[in-house]
Chains A and B, each alone.
Chain A
């Protein structure tokens, strides 16, 4: 549920529950995005190719 959803209410329950969910998902999403981008950069630099 997002704040523009018709069920949304600006109360403590919605902010804590949905805020917690989006906070956790953001950390996981940003963490994975960072790893994938860094892996692409490292690969472009030729790192890890000794495994061949």
Chain B
């Protein structure tokens, strides 16, 4: 039925099966939309946020998807600025994943601000002393960059590409993509960093407060570093999931190996920096403000020292060792376990830097603040996942996302005949 729209030389499932899955995932999306409309029409009383939790599940989801979407800027930087040409075979998918992550982040922010129609205030009545203003500027500009990087993919659809103007536009956009990619890397560096810097400048919150260089706390650099490390891991993980669902190899293994190796070294150096930062904070920064290390991890049901071990050792040291060793990368099981742990590590790090910061008591008469999100918050956080799956399904079906797909299929068929 829609075969004229499907890229040439590749096989896709039947149109009926495709629509069936769109409907199934669409039902989840609809659930999220209902919760979103409730939040918009009835207000933020639909959430379990309170005086202790001004930042909650949404902001964690925001920071997590922004970190995981970092694969787009870092892969773009490696491909277009540093000349890692092999990555041209995965950059399209990295851009798509980044586009989904950043549009999801903006959607969640649209709910969190409560009055999305006034979002333009942040640009016109900007508070130039706020790190979050910088985040808003860079986030929206970088989303524009991702849209610009995604447009040529849409224009390469079999039918759209037949129109000479669109064909030429796509060609010209590819021609100067390095400029857009470099701008994207610049914007990403600052908004990833400022998201890390925000909790660290809260001197009234000793759990997150950090020292740093000039106006930038150490977490500014750690957030950017972790996004550059874990973003490509997320790209590898989603590619692997897509390959399992479609039951075909979509990207050649040498491309995955190269990206995994670079991500591994980024993760390893990040983990060392994170250990040094944590050690300095635990032994110097926090004690200087009258707190012991265990004040942040005891007498509460959720935030024990295990969360630190999970973040740094299990999701930092172990995947780093796997990814920087050739033997680790060659084993499919170890490789996927490592990227999964790295992705989990980024999510745990953002959880700790958003929610544990809120949970820790800062006054002597306070106790730990616990929080569980309402169903509306959970539904609206799952909404972007459903939206992402649908966009991947549509893009995979109609756009040439994987340039090596046809070649891999032909090689596979040739080997069968041999």
Contact B169 A39 (CB under 8 A): yes
Is the C-beta of B324 less than 8 angstroms from some C-beta in chain A?
no
Contact A13 B180 (CB under 8 A): no
| Closest Cβ–Cβ distance, residue A27 to chain B (whole Å) | 5
Bound-state CA distance A25–B125 (Å) is: 17
Q: A21-B123, A21-B141, A28-B144 are in contact. Are A13 and B168 (CB under 8 A)?
A: no
Tell me whether chain B's interface is mostly helix, strand or loop, or mixed.
Answer: helix
Please tell me which stretch of B74-82, B127-135, B354-362 contacts chain A, meaning at least 4 of its Cβ atoms lie within 8 angstroms of it: B127-135
Q: Mark A15-52, 1 if CB is under 8 A from B, else 0.
A: 01110110011011001101110111011001111011
Contact B183 A27 (CB under 8 A): yes
Contact A24 B183 (CB under 8 A): yes
Chain A, interface size category, equals 20 to 34
Contact A52 B162 (CB under 8 A): yes
Q: Mark B154-193, 1 if CB is under 8 A from A, else 0.
A: 0000000111111111011101100110010011001000
Q: A31 — which chain B residues lie within 8 A by C-beta? A: 148, 176, 179-180
Question: Which partner residue on chain B sits nearest A17 by CB separation?
Answer: B128
Bound-state CA distance A46–B165 (Å) is: 10
Q: Mark B180-209, 1 if CB is under 8 A from A, else 0.
A: 100100110010000000000000000000
Question: Which partner residue on chain B sits nearest A5 by CB separation?
Answer: B124
Is the C-beta of B145 less than 8 angstroms from some C-beta in chain A?
yes
Q: A5 — which chain B residues lie within 8 A by C-beta? A: 124
Question: Which partner residue on chain B sits nearest A16 by CB separation?
Answer: B128
12 pairs, CB–CB < 8 Å, chain A vs chain B:
A5-B124, A21-B123, A24-B183, A28-B144, A28-B180, A31-B180, A34-B176, A38-B172, A43-B168, A48-B171, A51-B161, A51-B162
Per CB-CB distance, the 4 closest pairs between chain A and chain B, nearest first, are A13-B128, A48-B164, A39-B169, A48-B167
- Interface of A with B (CB < 8 Å)? 1, 5, 7, 13-14, 16-18, 20-21, 24-25, 27-28, 31-32, 34-36, 38-40, 42-43, 46-49, 51-52
